[in-house]
Structures are given as C-alpha cells and as structure tokens.
A = this chain, B = another copy of it.
Amino acid sequence: MPHHYTYPRAALTVDCVVFGLDAGALKVLLIQRGIDPFKGRWALPGGFVRVDETLDEAAARELEEETGVKDVFLEQLYTFSAIDRDPRERVISVAYYALVNLADHETRAATDASDAQWFPAEKLPRLAFDHVEILATALKRLRGKLRYEPIGFELLPPKFTLTQLQHLYETVLGTKIDKRNFRKKVLGFDLLEALNETHREGPHRPAQLYRFNPAKYERLKKKGFLFEL
C-alpha cells in the first residue's frame, strides 16, 4: 500500500466557471489575482481541495468564499491535467460550471469593492493558467446541454416570461428563433406553469409569467421523455 510520502503527489484544485445572463448577454464571473503567479490577471474562482471534503463541496466552498455566490446549479465539467498548467508545481484541476440568476448575484460582486467582476463571455480579459481552455470547454458544454436538458431556467429568475427564455436560448446558442414556434414547443412540454402574475415593464403589453416545474420534469424523464429544443 502506498504511503503518503513514498511518491510525490500532484496538488488538486477546483475551478468554477460561473455563467450569468445580464441584459441579454452571457457573462462569466472572474476574480483578479492578488498574488503570483499571474498576479493582477483575471482568473476563474477556485482553490485547493481539502483532504476532508468532496470535490462538489470544495467547488461550492471556494465559489462562496471568493465570490459570495452560493446555492446555485453547480456541476462537474472536466478535469484538466496538462503538466505545466501551473508554473509552480504539478497541479491538477477539476473544473465545475455554475449557472446563476444574475439578478440575485450581480450586486454582490459589483458592490463588494471585491475583486470579482462579471465579463461578457465573448469579450474576456487575458486569463491566468489554462483558464481560457477551461472556459471554452464550459461554454461548449453549456451550449450542448442547453439543447437537451432544461437547465436554462437556472439562468433566469424563478418567475420569467417566455420572451426572456427565448432570448436566453438565442443568446447562448447564437441563433435566431421564431417566436411562435418557440412558444408552441416549450409550452408543449407541459413543464411550465403559467402564474397569475404578469411582468410589466415599459410602454407595452405586460407579459405572462411562468415558473419551471422541476418535479414534473423528473417524473417525465423517468418515463423516457426527452427534452429537446
């Protein structure tokens, strides 16, 4: 049985790609590094995994410690292990991606006088380590997953309009979608509940608010139902 100090071990970190939707643009939450290496560069929130926590726990903990974001959709993405991805020593990083409703979290990062900031996914600053690669992987996963699992709702407030939902898909997937066809299809899944509330904003007809029913989705999924947009 291997003993702790028999062989050198790689260090283990977690890194989180946090996606948010702001004014119809996809954003990513980054923090500015205060120390070397890459001092001053922007990087994904993350840090070392403790020996007494799972990776999920480590990701959630680091995310909250560094950005204040918590209780959000958080899922393992991929594990990155290029030999020289960290100039100090061998560090292997398990990447996660998170989807947050920006309305709740935007202020926090912005007002904290913190070093955390939202950047448009299409216009990022130079990043530390191999974080560009991690981000690209996360974006690809998000786009893929959005099409066949109902995770888009995680980026919206609990109550949302169909137009907001449609814009979300258009933004993330980078496509134009026909309004009528989109509504027909989404409502056809019977996973959205129309609320007795409307969203009024601006000089135009108020929009019906809906809520996603995750329990219903779970039930349907077990019966072989396939979400797909």
Interface residues of A (CB under 8 A from B): 1-2, 4-5, 7-12, 35-36, 48-56, 76, 78-79, 81-83, 88-90, 92, 94
Contacts and interface: CB of A to CB of B under 8 A. Distances in A.
A8 B4 contact: yes
B92 A55 contact: yes
A4 B88 CA distance: 11
B55 A79 contact: yes
A130 B7 CA distance: 24
A82 B94 contact: no
B89 A7 contact: no
Given A9-B9, A52-B83, 5 more contacts: A1-B88, A4-B8, A8-B51, A49-B81, A53-B83
Contact of A79 (B8, B76, B83): B76
Contacts of A56: 81
Interface majority SS (helix, strand, loop, mixed), chain A: loop
Contacts of A89: 4
Contact of A2 (B8, B48, B78, B83): B48
Contacts of A94: 79, 81
Nearest to A83: B54
Contacts of A12: 9-10, 12, 92
A10 B52 CA distance: 9
Contacts of A83: 52-54
B7 A50 contact: yes
A195 B52 CA distance: 57
Nearest to A37: B1
B79 A48 contact: no
A9 B82 contact: no
The 9 closest A-B pairs by CB, nearest first: A55-B81, A8-B51, A54-B81, A9-B9, A79-B79, A51-B90, A79-B94, A10-B51, A1-B88
